[in-house]
Amino acid sequence: MRKKFVFILVVLIMIFSYLTIASATKALRSTSDRPANLPFVSDSIRLVLITQELDTPFWNKVGQGALKQAQKENVQLEVWGSYGNNQDDFLKTMEVAIHSKVDGIIVQGLDNEEFKELTKVKAAFYGIPVITVANDVPVEESLRKTYVGSDQFEAGEMVARQLIKEMGTTGGVIILGDQEQAYYQKERLAGIEDVLSKYPDIEMIIRGTADAKEQVMATTQQLMNEVPRASAFIAINANYAGPMIQEIGRRTQVEPYYIYTFDDGVGSTALLEQGMLDGILAQKPEEMGSESVKRLMQWISGETVPLDSNGYLTETRMVKAEGEEP
């Protein structure tokens, strides 16, 4: 009886050993047969576009372009952000996107330490690629993958050249921006200065202001008192064009002045159509949106790694008050 029991036990052990070896062999074979790179499934990709200026004409167009391209790429894209340049809400939204572990972020660049900390440390920790759109930040300070938008230095040059063409090479030019200029404003200003500094009879008066409408108007009033012979105004923050023109019109006729800005401000196009602006620097916001999704997907799919850190530039052109290009 004992011998019979031992015999049965040995047989069972041999059967279990065979089954174990067979299962392991099958697992190893299926692993080795698996392709080195798993197929890229685009419909599982989730992207987010984040802006500080939701529901403005310029950023609506950026969003429209991004959504159209996302549909072509068969990926999910959501547009998040804040209203009225609320930086705290904007940064919180950015942090939520990172902790949600989205696959990629397209974002309006914000040139401050909190934003750079989010892109350089937190997004990098989760392996989330970040692309800036329309407003850039320095790559070495943010580790963003690339930038899609206008060459802001060249845009400033174009505005200055058009001003010279209309005004001539003599006069005072008031340039209005933020008290703490964002990177895109610094680039615009540098381009303007590069052109106007070549003319010794042009005086540039550069001033920063807080972003409240009343403060922009008060700063404009102060400048007009300080520089009564000013011939021209340039709003490098396009959102300041409206309050600036309102204050000029309250004191005197707007028509004698040469006034220029950019098309990314609320109401810039309407002011141009009303003849309150002599020209705006027109950009391609819808193209910015579509191109940013395209480039981000090239990174995620591994098609283009690395992306060009200098950025992918979209077209800019000057549009005059008469509706014609100069």
Dihedral pair phi/psi, residue 133, rounded to 5°: -130, 135
Return the pLDDT at 211.
87
**Residue labelled with tokens 């200026």:** 53
Return the pLDDT at 24.
35
* Predicted confidence (pLDDT) at residue 240 exceeds the cutoff of 90: yes
At 89-125, the pLDDT tens digits run 999 999 999 999 999 999 999 989 999 999 999 999 9
The percentage of the chain sitting over the pLDDT mark of 70, rounded to a whole number, equals 86
Could you tell me the pTM of the whole model? 0.83
Return the pLDDT at 272.
94
Return the pLDDT at 15.
52
Which residues face 230 on adjacent strands? 172
Instruction: Determine which helix (DSSP H) or strand (DSSP E) holds 260, and give its type and residue range.
Output: strand 258-262
What is the helix, strand, coil percentage profile of the chain, to 5?
A: 50, 20, 30
CA-wise closest residue to 106 among 168, 142, 148, 161: 148
At 141-178, the pLDDT tens digits run 999 999 999 999 999 999 999 999 999 999 999 999 99
Mean pLDDT confidence for 19-26: 38
* Predicted confidence (pLDDT) at residue 5 exceeds the cutoff of 60: no
Return the pLDDT at 7.
52
Contact by Cβ (8 Å): 79, 56: no
Return the pLDDT at 325.
57
- Give me the chain's average pLDDT, please: 87
Mean pLDDT confidence for 62-85: 94
Mean pLDDT confidence for 79-83: 89
Q: Distances in Å between the alpha carbon of 286 and those of 131, 140, 282?
A: 16, 27, 12
Distance CA 29, CA 200 (A): 79
* Predicted confidence (pLDDT) at residue 6 exceeds the cutoff of 70: no
**pLDDT band (50, 70, 90) for residue 237:** very high
* Predicted confidence (pLDDT) at residue 273 exceeds the cutoff of 70: yes
**pLDDT band (50, 70, 90) for residue 28:** very low
Domains of the chain in sequence order: 42-149+285-314 (3.40.50.2300), 152-282 (3.40.50.2300)
Mean pLDDT confidence for 291-301: 97
* Predicted confidence (pLDDT) at residue 316 exceeds the cutoff of 80: yes
Mean pLDDT confidence for 13-24: 46
Distance CA 36, CA 214 (A): 62
At 29-61, the pLDDT tens digits run 322 232 333 345 566 899 999 999 888 999 999
Give me 130's structure tokens. 């970040």
Give me 325's structure tokens. 């290009």
